[in-house]
Structure 1
């Protein structure tokens, strides 16, 4: 079980979560240790460029949406360095990052799911 699995479980149950992810794959959007807030998401509303909490191929990531395929109800997840993690279903997109280091993320209005 990865460090983000417990956070993903809470968000999937409709709770917001605040945590400090580690790693440099999302720099400069999210620095290692930056406080982030993730809220439950309506996956059908996500767009390329959104930062989401999602499970891809058995691993949970806080990464970018790099492509969408709403007809097949799936999104592609990538880091901010060009590495594609893969496609995942809407059911495995748990939350959307609404704030990083106290700064609101753009274009999140209407994407959150009520708990």
Structure 2
């Protein structure tokens, strides 16, 4: 999925109207510092993962200016930012969702799974 978010909450990694590429994320993979697409108050926004709680299967999401939005369950995280304006994001490789041979998604034993 490609989109152009507006606003300044994720500057500098994402500036307003830059092209952002998001891929479905394996819920076991997000780590602190990753940028994910998560639902907050009914709307989906890019957020930085600021903490993970493996036991609770959730992650804390924040903007890039120090504001913590709160904890969210892994079922509200829809994707991981893999590129911004054509530049690949370090750390995103290997975190995208892969389909098993039966078509189901896999979830390992990582921080948010």
Find out whether 1:24 has 2:19 as its counterpart: no
Matched residue SS, 2:97: coil
Deviation at 1:89, TM superposition (A): 0.3
Normalising by structure 1, report the TM-score.
Answer: 0.82
* Residues 82 and 93, structure 2, Cα contact 8 Å, conserved in 1: no
Find out whether 1:52 has 2:36 as its counterpart: yes
Normalising by structure 2, report the TM-score.
Answer: 0.83
The answer for unaligned runs of 5 or more in structure 1 is: 1-16
Q: Which moved more, 1:53-62 or 1:75-84?
A: 53-62
Tell me the equivalent position of 1:75: 59
Deviation at 1:58, TM superposition (A): 3.1
Q: Aligned equivalents of 2:22 and 2:3: distance in 1?
A: 8
Tell me the equivalent position of 1:4: none
Q: Aligned equivalents of 1:84 and 1:57: distance in 2?
A: 14
Deviation at 1:60, TM superposition (A): 2.0
Give 1 or 2 for the bigger CA radius of gyration. Answer: 2
1:96-111 matches, within 5 Å, as: 96-111=80-95
Deviation at 1:71, TM superposition (A): 1.4
Deviation at 1:27, TM superposition (A): 0.5
Point out the structure with the larger helix share.
1
